Amino acid sequence: MPDADCAGVPTHWRVFGAGEVQALALHCTLAHSGAWAGMAAELPGLTLTAPDMLGHGRSGDWDGAGDFHTRATQQAIALMGRMGDAPLHLIGHSFGATVALRIALELPERVASLSLFEPVLFCAARAAEGPEFAAHEAMHEPYATALMQGDSMAAAASFQAIWGRGQPFDHTPPAQRAYIAARVHLIAAQNETLLRDAAGMLAYGRLEGLGIPVLLAQGAESPAIIDAINRELARRLPQVQRATVAKAGHMLPITHAAECAELVRAFMPG
């Protein structure tokens, strides 16, 4: 479990497996690199490197300087540089999926494929002008209010009720509740990119020009905005496959690790 500076972020990462194929896996907000253990066990052909993203796990905290999504992307790119020069397969979940997509748009020569589970690029649904974005914003009002009032536990409970594993927040072990509440502000820190596309990922021609195979996967029981996001991304990406995991919600790489690993095995080129 090495530790090193990656673009100014003290970074901890785990390496799962010893396969010939190199992949980088980027976890969701409020998780850590261990979230990939289940899928990694089902992917013996891979060497899967999974960092604790900025502000998570044993990596450095976000100091509030700069744009959070940009700094997390820079952190991941720096770790890729430590993994050699060959193109890597990127696997991302939720926030991590949006970082993976951003890396592919900025450095396509470094990416062999993208497996994106529930990418929360909400601005894509907003651009599609369907009803899902307004419903998403309304659903998140209790979270935003609690965060504004400084009640991190209430904000975490509200957020987990939408995006968690389906169990009440007060049934979560106390240490896990404390971990989530201490980082719940990082969700709002991503708004410039995920809601308002500050990174320009939706700029005309960027997605259409991405010459990389992309898997867009989602849970059948996920919030409706995820399907809206994936529909819009699939409409614009030239090399795309979509998949839905039955009886799964947003946390499918953890709750349905075997099914998600099978999707990656079937999709991954080479």
Contact criterion met (CB below 8 Å) for 81 and 238 = no
Residue 22 lies in a domain: yes
Nearest to 181 by CA among 153, 160, 206: 153
Residue 216 lies in a domain: yes
Contact criterion met (CB below 8 Å) for 124 and 233 = yes
- Tens of pLDDT, residue by residue over 124-154, are 999 999 999 999 999 999 999 999 999 999 9
Q: Could you tell me how many residues make up the chain?
A: 270
Residue 42 lies in a domain: yes
Residue 143 lies in a domain: no
Domain with residue 58: its CATH number is: 3.40.50.1820
Residue 36 lies in a domain: yes
Residue 201 lies in a domain: yes
- What letter represents residue 120's amino acid? V
The percent of residues above 90 in pLDDT, for the chain, comes to 94
Domain residue limits at 216:
3-130+195-267
- Tens of pLDDT, residue by residue over 152-173, are 999 999 999 999 887 788 888 9
User: Can you point out the beta strands (E) in the chain?
Assistant: 3-6, 9-16, 21-26, 46-51, 88-93, 111-117, 214-219, 240-245
- What letter represents residue 167's amino acid? Q
Residue 8 lies in a domain: yes
State whether residue 172 is helix, strand or coil: coil
The total of structural domains in the chain comes to 1
Residue 122 lies in a domain: yes
